[in-house]
Structure 1
């Protein structure tokens, strides 16, 4: 099991919260540790949002519980009804699951049996829970700050390398069908993880005005990288679906098809290398000049191949369409990347990662 930064921060937050609660002499310091555990978030922005939301939820839970105990008592049935009401109010306010859970803990903490004065007891419980939330916020901000920019590029780079490798293998009929299907399913899940990382990265706030514009441009580049990788995965899926039909067409058309795909793959790899600063910024030829596609010619050839066979005519046109869409996204990524490198020459993307050797 991999020990992540969020797991470590949760442990640190619980320890610090318990230590502070014990140091100032709070009774039932356990509630402080519970609140700290629930308040840890994947980035500082969400932690800031969650801190206020959970404080509001705690105040709500404590007030409801105190009023119910003062008027109706703390019978188990009454506690259950109060819990239902608090959950309903939290859901109406569109609070997340962790916040609702913490509100329930606040209700239970106040409505447990005690010999103390009710409002003093409720105030201590509210203070304990709030202390845990605030402690978690500061731990989240000071310890192990997340580097979503580097993580996002590494995820995109690794996933794209896997897709392009499988594209090369599948076009040369070296792939095993069950293995390729399993890889496509795995890559679909990777796309979901990447989208989540992009969401976390986009939520990071830039307070220095000078760094705000480069960050916005990076967001656009990352979004296009993800779109381009999705198109490459769609192309791989198309080759997998049409693998049996490719064998039935003439060899000369197969060669044209594979040559065009190799050009597109090469273009994609060059752009990723360029993003890492491993290719000269002032190139004598652009990717488009070096790898000019002939997909319209590919479509014309495909139509001619099937003119004599009405039953199978145009069956592979969706495959050519996938290649066309894939190349279109690559050209858009090229335009965005070169624009960034032109206007921000002194601000590197800093994507330092060893890459595999490109197969010619």
Structure 2
């Protein structure tokens, strides 16, 4: 079992909110704990955004509940209709993430006896705000997210899995169960990496004045993601088209060899970014360009020999060529990034 930073921070936020309610004699404190759970976010910007959105929608929810108590009543049908109204308002304001906690606020106000008392309503509302505030403080001060480190670690992990699959895809060395299991894991990890990049880019766009981030490095990170996505596409094409093309042993070796070269190049680029390789002044890139050109010409020859049968093989070849272009672009961006840093 792995306890990540977000899990750890959720536990601390819940504890803090309960202690604050205990200190201020606010009951029932459980609503503050629920609010803290819903408010914890994976980034600083999203924490601020969530705080603002939660305050707005929870204020609206409390106002709607107050209006209903005095003018419509608090029977189950009315409460159900209010839930629908609150959800509609939150969607209209594009604050979908606040819906669960806003509904909790409305229920907290309407589902208890004595809810006609304005002090009771303010008490419930303030309890919710304690939970929201506790989550924000914890998110800002406890284990603040290291976006660059997290992103690079995840990128490396995804690449390791992808390289294993690409190296064994054509040769079909892994068992079908193992290959499909690893492929499914790769798809899930790439989706998570896409989410991490969105968070990283969000921080750059929204909090750049508070925490400057190197835009060129962001571009490098985006290209890293695109190369991994293209590697995933090769795997999908191999599974969908390669084995149906009736490739010969010679063609298997031909494809397998070039994929192996590209994987080594990809691995080299990770080391290059980390500053762990000797400077080759573009030699590696030039060799890959030549190899890719030769691979493309040979693929065309195979296709022309039997267009009907080898069209599937050419689809795989095209995705491999595109992968090589993405790698070359990543190489160039890394060079540009380090040149600017030196200056």
**With structure 1 as the length reference, what TM-score do the two structures score?**
0.84
Query: Aligned with 2:290: secondary structure?
Result: coil
Paired with 1:16 and 1:316, the residues of 2 have a C-alpha distance of 60
Candidates 265, 276, 285, aligned match of 1:278: 276
1:168 deviates by 2.3
> How is 1:134-153 mapped onto 2 (pairs within 5 angstroms)?
134-153=133-152
Contact 2:296 2:321 in 1 (8 A): no
The number of equivalent residue pairs is: 341
Contact 2:69 2:116 in 1 (8 A): no
Query: Aligned with 1:163: secondary structure?
Result: helix
Question: What's the RMSD between the two structures over aligned residues?
Answer: 2.7
Candidates 313, 329, 333, aligned match of 1:332: 329
Q: Are 1:266 and 2:284 matched, yes or no? A: no
Paired with 1:286 and 1:343, the residues of 2 have a C-alpha distance of 21
Candidates 255, 270, 291, aligned match of 1:294: 291
Paired with 2:78 and 2:37, the residues of 1 have a C-alpha distance of 28
> How is 1:19-58 mapped onto 2 (pairs within 5 angstroms)?
19-58=19-58
Does 332-341 or 60-69 show the bigger shift? Answer: 60-69
**What is aligned with 2:226?**
227
Query: Aligned with 1:316: secondary structure?
Result: helix
Paired with 1:189 and 1:140, the residues of 2 have a C-alpha distance of 26
1:76 deviates by 2.9
Paired with 2:176 and 2:115, the residues of 1 have a C-alpha distance of 70
Does 60-69 or 291-300 show the bigger shift? Answer: 291-300
Q: Are 1:166 and 2:177 matched, yes or no? A: no
Post-superposition Cα deviations, 1:176-216, rounded to whole Å, max 9, x if no partner, equal: 344323322321222111111111222225867697352x2
- Structure with greater helix percent: 2
Does 26-35 or 289-298 show the bigger shift? Answer: 289-298
Query: Aligned with 1:344: secondary structure?
Result: helix
Q: 1:82 to 1:303 in 2, by over 3 A?
A: closer
Q: 1:279 to 1:60 in 2, by over 3 A?
A: same
Contact 1:39 1:51 in 2 (8 A): yes
1:69 deviates by 1.2
1:71 deviates by 2.1
Question: Could you list the runs of 5+ residues in structure 1 that have no partner in the other structure?
Answer: 347-360
Q: 1:329 to 1:236 in 2, by over 3 A?
A: same
- Compare CA radii of gyration and give the structure with the larger one: 1
Query: Aligned with 1:212: secondary structure?
Result: coil
Contact 1:66 1:118 in 2 (8 A): no
Paired with 1:290 and 1:298, the residues of 2 have a C-alpha distance of 12
Paired with 2:138 and 2:208, the residues of 1 have a C-alpha distance of 23
**What is aligned with 1:74?**
74
Contact 2:62 2:105 in 1 (8 A): yes
**What is aligned with 1:101?**
100
Paired with 1:303 and 1:207, the residues of 2 have a C-alpha distance of 49
Post-superposition Cα deviations, 1:305-344, rounded to whole Å, max 9, x if no partner, equal: 5656565355522222122111111110000011111111
Does 288-297 or 204-213 show the bigger shift? Answer: 204-213
**With structure 2 as the length reference, what TM-score do the two structures score?**
0.88
Contact 1:299 1:317 in 2 (8 A): no
